[in-house]
Structures are given as structure tokens and as C-alpha cells.
Structure 1
Amino acid sequence: MYEVSDSAVAVKRRVTLDDVAKVAHVATSTASRALNRPGRINAETEALVHQVANDLGYERPEIFWRRTHVLTQKIGVTIRLQEYQMLAAIQDKMILDQYLPVLYPAVSTRVLQTVKREFNNVDGLIIDNPQIPGRIRLEIPNTEPLVVTNCLMDETTCVVPDTEQGVAVLLTHLSSLRHQSITYFYAKDRWLDRSVLQALRSGCERDGLVLHTVGNVGDSLESGHRAVSAWRKHLDSVAVFCGALSAIGFMEELDQSLRVSVPDDVSVVAIGDAFIGRLHQPRTTTLEVPYRKIGTEAVRQLVSQIRHRSRVEKRVKLVNMRLVNGGTTGFF
């Protein structure tokens, strides 16, 4: 015979599988099998879990949501304002689907607090590039509907650029120009930078190219200026930057301090926003992150979750990248 503690009875929030498992003294996975896959565990344990679930008032998440949630026609968006192309695409798609975007500060230390505080005030959330993806699921395991962009997070629908495909296109371009060595400058705290790094390593190994990496390089003109000293250690024929501003800063410093010519002496490639690369002369060759397509797809996935909660599927949606040829890559 089990005992229901006072604390379990007094729970005012929605009863979860964890609550049922704790009172029944079984693992959460066991409680899940008992309630969702009958016949998979011991009959006595299964009966116990069902009794505990009934006593505590447990409901499946989709049933609870439909019973208690009144649609607000609002979607919360946590995104840096610098990602203006993606934000514009999100707003355009929401308007078409008759939703109102509600913007929250994209400060990494506040994302979790924002999710906790605001989730019940909107119909769903889009979080761009969360710095603490694991903690969101750990501390708020039933946060749905939710779509994450430009970052991978377990058991969540994610919309990300296809970095493996994009890097393959980039390496094909560089190989056609007879380049044999690359220096990659990146920031270690972003999923995009790490994903590009992994794709570059495997691609360069496959194609017989030499790869040197320099981490902790932010996307700013000043970071690009400082990167010149690191590039001089190997004098690779290609410098790749995960960010358009750092690539531009690098080229400025090469010209002003070393009188090194781009692309005659070194080719430069940016990964990110191709529009920023167009502001530089010559225009920067850019492996473009498709922010507008990512934003549109994120809204599409979230609205589908909102409208079909009983059959929500967690998925990773890859969006192809494209190489925008500028005047900063040439023959070696």
C-alpha cells in the first residue's frame, strides 16, 4: 500500500509524471510505460501507478493544456535585435497566421526566467540561440509549444542552418581556387560556430586541406583587427570568420597595418549575414546563414504545435545555406 504525502496532495501546479513516479516509488520511465504503454511492465506495478495517477489527478499534457489554456493569439519571441532579418521574417509570418509577436530580452541570464514567467501568457515560444539550452528542459520539462532556432536542444523542435551542407559548398569553392590551408576564427559559446568547426574539420580532412583554428573571436570590427596577429602565425591562404563584422575588421587591419591585399595575398570568407558583407568594398564572400527562412520555418513549426498539440513531433529542421560570391576570394 502506498502513502500520499501531504506535500504531494497539496501540489497546486499541474501533476506531472515525476509526481506520480515519486508517490508510487517507481522510476519516471516506469510510470510512463504504465500509463502510455500498457502491458510493458509488471501488472501489479502498472495497477499501482494508475491508482496513484487517478488519486493525484494526473492528466496527459495535451489534455490538460486543451482543458485549461485559453488561446491568446500571441507568440513569445526571445531574439537579439541584431538578428533583424530573422525577426522581420518571424513578424511577417505571424501576421499572416494572425498571431501577435511578443518580444522578450535576449539576455542569456534571463532566458530561463522569461520562459518560467511568461509561458502561460502566450500560446508558444520561439527562443533563438539559447545560451543555456539544457537548463530549459531540465527546469521546465513540460514547456510546450516551443521552437528553438540556431541551436540544437534535446527533445525539442529546432530550426538550424545545415552547416555540413554549407561548409561542403564552401570547401568546393575554395578547392576550385587551389587553396590548401585555412584559418578559422570563431567564438566558442555559439552553436553555429561549433557546428561549422566540426564540419570544417571533417571536410578539410576529407579534402586534404590544412585547418588551423582560433577560438574566442567575437563578431566585431575590433575582434577582426586583433585576429591579424593570430593569422600571421601560419599565413594560411584563406581566413574564415564566423561573423561578417570580424571579417571586415580583419581586412581593414590587413590593409592599414600590413599592406596585405585581399584577395591577391589572402582570401577572406564570412559566415553569417550576407547583407553586412555587401557594405564592404570589395563585397565580402559570405556563406550565408538563411535567417529569414529560419524565422519563417520556426513560426510554421510553432503554429503547427499550437494547432495540433495531441500529435506534436519533435524534429530538427535543416535549412540550406548558400555561398554568396563577393570579391574577397581568389586564386592562390
Structure 2
Amino acid sequence: MPRVTIADIAREAGVSKPTVSRALNGHPDVGAETRERIQRIAADLGYAPSSSARSLRTGRHDTLGLLMPLEQWWGYSDIQYGIAEESARRGLHLLVHPLRPGEQAEREFVTQTLPTLPMDGLILLMPEGTPRHIGAIAHTSMPTVVIDDRGHRLDLPYVESTNRAGFREAVTHLVRHGRRRIAFVGGQMNDAFAQERFEGYLDALREGGIAYDPALTLLPGDREPTTDEITELLGTDPDGLAAAWDEIAFSALNALHTSGHRVPEDVAVTGFDDSPIARVMRPPLTTVRQPFRQMGAAAVRMLLDSIEHGRPPAHFTVPTELVIRDSCGGHAG
């Protein structure tokens, strides 16, 4: 069926097109009775306002953009859910744009695609590694907020979690339950988030009166440690093991099981992120929960603040939460 227009409504109501337009937009110079009659006729005819016309009139699309990498990681789905839920709560549409890997794709997005997208602001999920061209978004007129769980800094407002404080809380929990030889197993140490978690580990040792022992740390550079490397670390006789993220903790649990160590009796284990598998491991993994949904919602709120007021905060921090399960052998406290 042909699209119902303002002219159709004006003809049915016996008024001019400007009167219909003012009535539908709530202008006070249209009488209440006339406005209600026009609105009733518009509803009966099935009138839907043109989004492009409304955009020209208001300068807004009522749409937010989400730029996300193609790499798969379970945390992205929780972040997307938080963004979608908060956007829907505020009556906004969400335009998801996948970012192909590579510098050329980044450059094309910033210079060619971004200026054409019908949206009011952009939320950016950082891909693996520091992007070379994406940072140029900071020099465009597009309001942008970064969801940054990796520690990249692009001169853009960003949402982060408490990597350092969260990891300190996990290791402190082990110290309070009598663990004194606590190993740290990390990776990707060129990324700020990994370095922050290592610093949280050092904070907890220092606050617990435990001297740092380099022999109890496994830092294999810009990659995850292998199970063989973790098995070798177990030769230093730790009684606790703090993994920089859950996947490393899963490898550690496998290495401990294979080498005959009991968890948590011999070695207590903690992770970071609270991935879905953490609760079904044997034993279930004590870990630090990343607030991914809350981070997504916070990014929407920050972006709207930027769009509506032009003065968003430089960053917003969402606190992590220690989730205590059987792998550490202790209870809250």
C-alpha cells in the first residue's frame, strides 16, 4: 500500500498541511480539540513519520552505532546485551557495524564509512592489539565512547573496570586464608590490562607482608602461557596461583590435575573475568567478575551525555566483584 503522507491527513481532516505538521509535533498554537482529531485520523490511516524528515528537522537520528571486531570472545556478547538493553530503555535504535581486521579496513571505516552512517554517536569495542587508524575518530565530529577492557588509550572517553583493584582483592583473599607462596601466571604483558592485574598481585603481596619472588611469576610476553610452562612453574612449590584471566586458570587447573596436585588443598587457584565455564569447572573457579553488561550500559549513558551536552567525563569505572568458589578453599572475608 502507498505510504500515508501529511497531505492525506490534511485532506481527511479538512485542514492545511502545516497545521497537521504542527499538530503531530505538539506545537502549542494548535488547539487541543484539533490536535486530538488530527492525531486520531493519523492513527486511523496508519501514518508513520518519516525518519529522514524527522532527522532533518531535529538533527538527530535516535540511533547509536556499535563498532565491533569480528574476533570471537564470550565477553562481547554480554557487552552488546548491556548496550542494547540500555539503548532500548531510552527508545534508541542500535546500528551494529562489524570491523574487518587490518589497517586498510580501519582507515576505510574512519574516512569513508563513518561519515555516511545515520547515527548520533558511536560506541567502540576495541579489537585485539592497538589500532593504528581507529584513533583518528577522536579528530572527527562523531561523539564516541570506547569500551576498554584491554587498557588501550585513544584520547577518547572510555569505560573501564577495576583491573588492578579487582586482582588485588582476589590475591588478598588467598593471603587471608594462609597462602604465602602465591604464583602469578600472566600473558600479553604489553597490554595495560595485564600489567594492571600484575600490579594488583604485587599490591596484595606487599599489603600481606609477603616478599615478591620472581621465581613464582610466569610472564611469557605477548601470548598466553602453555600448559608445559605452567607445569614447570609448579616445581617452585606454590600454595596459591593467581591467573591473569580465566583461560589461563583453566590451563593451570589442568596442569595441577595432571601433576597430581590437589585443588584447593595443595594449591588454591583464582582467575579473572568469570567466564561461563568458570562455574562448571571441577572444582568451580574462584574468579573476579568483569561487569560487562554494566560497562555496555555505562557507555550508552556516557555517549548520550556527550551528544546532549558535549561534555562527557574522560572515563567511567565500573567495579569488579570477587566471586568465591571451591578452587580457593576459602569463604568470603
TM-score w.r.t. structure 2 length?
Answer: 0.68
Figure out how many residues of one structure are paired with residues of the other and give that number. 261
Decide whether aligned partners of structure 1 residues 94 and 226 sit closer, same or farther in structure 2, where only a CA change above 3 A counts: farther
CA distance in 1, matches of 2:314, 2:131: 16
Decide whether aligned partners of structure 1 residues 132 and 219 sit closer, same or farther in structure 2, where only a CA change above 3 A counts: closer
1:104 aligns with 2:92: no
Instruction: State the partner residue of 2:120.
Output: 123
CA distance in 1, matches of 2:285, 2:328: 8
2:251 to 240, 249, 252: 249
SS of aligned partner of 2:272: strand
Q: CA deviation at 1:140?
A: 5.1
Decide whether aligned partners of structure 1 residues 272 and 305 sit closer, same or farther in structure 2, where only a CA change above 3 A counts: same
Q: CA deviation at 1:143?
A: 5.5
* Structure with bigger gyration radius: 2
1:141 to 132, 139, 142: 139
CA distance in 1, matches of 2:196, 2:239: 22
Q: CA deviation at 1:322?
A: 0.8
Deviations 1:156-211 (A, max 9, x none): 21111112331332233112111123222222243321221122223322332335
Q: CA deviation at 1:235?
A: 2.5
Q: Where does 1:56-67 land on structure 2 (aligned, <5 Å)?
A: none
List, as ranges, runs of 4+ consecutive aligned residues in structure 1 with deviation greater than 6 Å: 66-69, 217-220
CA distance in 1, matches of 2:100, 2:146: 13
SS of aligned partner of 1:268: strand
Deviations 1:14-40 (A, max 9, x none): xxxxxxxxxxxxxxxxxxxxxxxxxxx
Q: CA deviation at 1:73?
A: 1.4
TM-score w.r.t. structure 1 length?
Answer: 0.68
Amino acid at match of 2:286: T
Decide whether aligned partners of structure 1 residues 178 and 139 sit closer, same or farther in structure 2, where only a CA change above 3 A counts: same
CA distance in 2, matches of 1:241, 1:218: 15
Instruction: State the partner residue of 1:170.
Output: 170
Instruction: State the partner residue of 1:76.
Output: 66
CA distance in 1, matches of 2:316, 2:223: 26
Instruction: State the partner residue of 2:322.
Output: 323
Q: CA deviation at 1:248?
A: 1.4
Instruction: State the partner residue of 1:63.
Output: none
CA distance in 2, matches of 1:230, 1:112: 44
CA distance in 1, matches of 2:166, 2:136: 32
Instruction: State the partner residue of 1:32.
Output: none
Deviations 1:98-139 (A, max 9, x none): 121313137465445434443221322222235326754457
SS of aligned partner of 1:307: helix
CA distance in 1, matches of 2:313, 2:323: 32
SS of aligned partner of 1:318: strand
Structure 1: unaligned runs, 5 residues or longer: 1-65
Structure 2: unaligned runs, 5 residues or longer: 1-55
Name the Cα RMSD after superposition.
Answer: 3.0
SS of aligned partner of 1:278: helix
